[in-house]
Structure 1
Amino acid sequence: MSAILTGIIPVAPTIFHDDESLDLDGQRRVVDFLVDSKVDALCILANYSEQFSLEDDERRRVIDATLEQAAGRVPVMVTTSHYSARVAARRTREAAEAGARLAMLMPPFFGATMSVGEDLVLDYFATVAEQSAIDIMVQDAPLSTTPLSVALLARLATEIPQVKYVKVEVPRAAAKIRALRTIAGADLPGVFDGEEGVTLIPDLHAGAIGTMASCTIPDVLGEVVRRFGSGDIDGATRAWNAVLPLIHFENRQCGLQAAKALLKEGGVIASDRVRAPLAPLPASTRAELLALADRARASVLGWAR
């Protein structure tokens, strides 16, 4: 079994040209930026990667380009969520065959009304696990209408050995993380938070071992987790507080467009295009984001210069 990952696992955006076609050269440059940022792994094809706007063939091309560019320098996580257990299992198997270290999936849901009961959630993840040997992260996100109780997450980890990770990004994340650490214990060692790290310090106090944020400040958040883990709680808290205005603005005012805007501003990518019907950031929002990033001395702004 692979060692449990800790630290920072940023979500890499899917890079497009201005005409919304894939920019795989830009995708590769994002990988290099993240490796230079000393990330512990990277994640592709997540919601923040606009996975919902990609065709299956485009998914495969992004996976291949990312794994080829990573070249074993960092582990790669592939998001393989789909309502269909059959499709999710195939996606996970293909990701494993391509070289992914682990897969992340939300529980099955569709729209605002189609959710799935607990036993069917268990069956879903069991089906995925049967077709691949890689570890699985369950994504506990507010986007899903299928609830994941602490008891269900603990049951998934107990009954499906490949479920070793969970990403908790729901309101009151710290309380849920603390309960998971108590109830699931060693069966679920890889507890991460999300939401750009906006509640990272409370979540680390609760027992999280890492964070899944965007590409905005991966080096800083990685250092926060490492300092906290080494016992330098005050230093970790100071480092987090210093960038919290930027994190909060990204989380509450920008969304997934923020990382692309900063990657473009720093010359990592040529276009910050998002696929319609998503829209670019308003000029005023973008200006505020850049000012906060400059104030935080975000390395993304200088990496390519």
Structure 2
Amino acid sequence: MTHEVLRGVFPVVPTIFDDSGRLDVAGQRRAVDFMIDAGSNGLAILANFSEQFALSDDERNTVQRVVLEHVAGRVPVIVTTTHFSSDVCAARSRAAQDAGAAMVMVMPPYHGATIRVAERGILEFYRRVSDAIDIPVMIQDAPVSGTTLTAAFLARLAREVRNVSYFKIECPQAAAKLRELIELGGDAVIGPWDGEEAITLIPDLDAGATGTMTGGGYPDGIRKIVDVYMAGDTSRAADLYQAWLPLINYENRQTGIATCKILMKEGGVIASDAVRHPLARVHPAARAGLIEIARRLDPLVLRWGR
């Protein structure tokens, strides 16, 4: 089956809670509307930056339904369906496809600090997930899984597993890994992507990345960089990246998962910037620092809801 090639800026949609920690469906819809208005080429839901690990299965289903129905085809949506069980992950992936997902994103199977699966099992895992669906699979290669996925093994997965064709590389030396993956995987690697809040965006674009999955607070800023780069003006893209880098760095190193919610609340997009317990709210001083840096750049998020 032929699918549209996805590229560009696909930020992660945060899961919106009220101050009591319950899902805020109205806020979820507003967050999605803002992110589309801010120029997102597409969206990703139920990712780690969506606090997917703190959601019940029923809540996951609610978020998936609410977002995909509300987006209504305006932009493609990637749904994270990660689970240790091959069968559960396959079922989640099928449900995401049936709900309208353009792609699923799946980490290799892992649990806790020590339970891992060898390469043969990982290959069989992705094959079982792929066989359950007809849409592309993106492999998320991130340190949180504690699983080493070599570029050679990723290229093998691309060649041997029918729907595995996108790769979100957010490990150390990501640019070098992207180059090797593209070289070894050839045409089987349709989407070599960058992640980790765009902290290594320019080197990754230089290495051949065609997409980036960032935080959700300022897609307009990331679009400015990526669009100029893809148009061939790499020098201007580097200048723009330098301008936005303090905010990117603050998200990556200081305020993390809470960043986009803080910015969205400050700009009137959502009513609460709560993260789900036991995650702690960001210290007021760090929150103020984030907003101060953001105001210098005037991102849409600080104006959208005012």
TM-score, scaled to structure 2: 0.98
Instruction: Give the Cα separation in 2 of the matches to 1:176 and 1:296.
Output: 31
Q: Which residue of 2 aligns with 1:207?
A: 208
Query: Which shifted more, 215-224 or 73-82?
Result: 215-224
Q: Which residue of 2 aligns with 1:140?
A: 141
1:37 Cα deviation after fit: 1.3
1:237 Cα deviation after fit: 1.1
Instruction: Give the Cα separation in 2 of the matches to 1:206 and 1:179.
Output: 9
Kindly indicate whether the alpha-carbon contact (under 8 Å) linking 1:5 and 1:190 is maintained by their aligned counterparts in 2.
Answer: yes
Deviations 1:50-72 (A, max 9, x none): 00011111111101110111111
Instruction: Give the Cα separation in 2 of the matches to 1:53 and 1:9.
Output: 22
Q: Which residue of 1 aligns with 2:286?
A: 285
Deviations 1:3-56 (A, max 9, x none): 211110000000001111100111111111111112111000000000001111
Q: Which residue of 1 aligns with 2:104?
A: 103
- Please state whether the residue corresponding to 1:143 is helix, strand or coil: helix
Instruction: Give the Cα separation in 1 of the matches to 2:236 and 2:55.
Output: 41
Is structure 2 residue 301 aligned with structure 1 residue 300?
A: yes
Deviations 1:219-264 (A, max 9, x none): 1212211211110111111111101001001101111011111111
Instruction: Give the Cα separation in 1 of the matches to 2:159 and 2:12.
Output: 27
Kindly indicate whether the alpha-carbon contact (under 8 Å) linking 1:224 and 1:240 is maintained by their aligned counterparts in 2.
Answer: yes
**Partner letter of residue 41 of structure 1?**
G
Q: Which residue of 2 aligns with 1:232?
A: 233
**Partner letter of residue 42 of structure 1?**
L
**Partner letter of residue 140 of structure 2?**
Q
Q: Which residue of 2 aligns with 1:185?
A: 186
Q: Which residue of 2 aligns with 1:159?
A: 160
1:107 Cα deviation after fit: 0.2
Q: Please give the residue correspondences for 1:258-273 in structure 2 after superposition, counting only pairs within 5 Å.
A: 258-273=259-274
Q: Please give the residue correspondences for 1:1-305 in structure 2 after superposition, counting only pairs within 5 Å.
A: 1-305=2-306
- Please state whether the residue corresponding to 2:143 is helix, strand or coil: coil
Deviations 1:80-135 (A, max 9, x none): 00011111001000000111000000000111111111111000000101111111
- Please state whether the residue corresponding to 1:148 is helix, strand or coil: coil
- Please state whether the residue corresponding to 1:167 is helix, strand or coil: strand
Tell me, which stretches of 5 or more residues in structure 1 are unaligned? none
**Partner letter of residue 155 of structure 1?**
R
Instruction: Give the Cα separation in 1 of the matches to 2:284 and 2:146.
Output: 33
Tell me, which stretches of 5 or more residues in structure 2 are unaligned? none
**Partner letter of residue 115 of structure 1?**
R
Instruction: Give the Cα separation in 2 of the matches to 1:40 and 1:298.
Output: 17
Kindly indicate whether the alpha-carbon contact (under 8 Å) linking 1:114 and 1:145 is maintained by their aligned counterparts in 2.
Answer: no
- Please state whether the residue corresponding to 1:258 is helix, strand or coil: helix
Kindly indicate whether the alpha-carbon contact (under 8 Å) linking 1:137 and 1:164 is maintained by their aligned counterparts in 2.
Answer: yes
Instruction: Give the Cα separation in 2 of the matches to 1:24 and 1:255.
Output: 22
Instruction: Give the Cα separation in 2 of the matches to 1:82 and 1:158.
Output: 23
**Percent sequence identity over aligned pairs:** 50
TM-score, scaled to structure 1: 0.99
**Partner letter of residue 239 of structure 2?**
R
Kindly indicate whether the alpha-carbon contact (under 8 Å) linking 1:209 and 1:225 is maintained by their aligned counterparts in 2.
Answer: no
Q: How many residue pairs align between the two structures?
A: 305
Instruction: Give the Cα separation in 2 of the matches to 1:217 and 1:56.
Output: 29
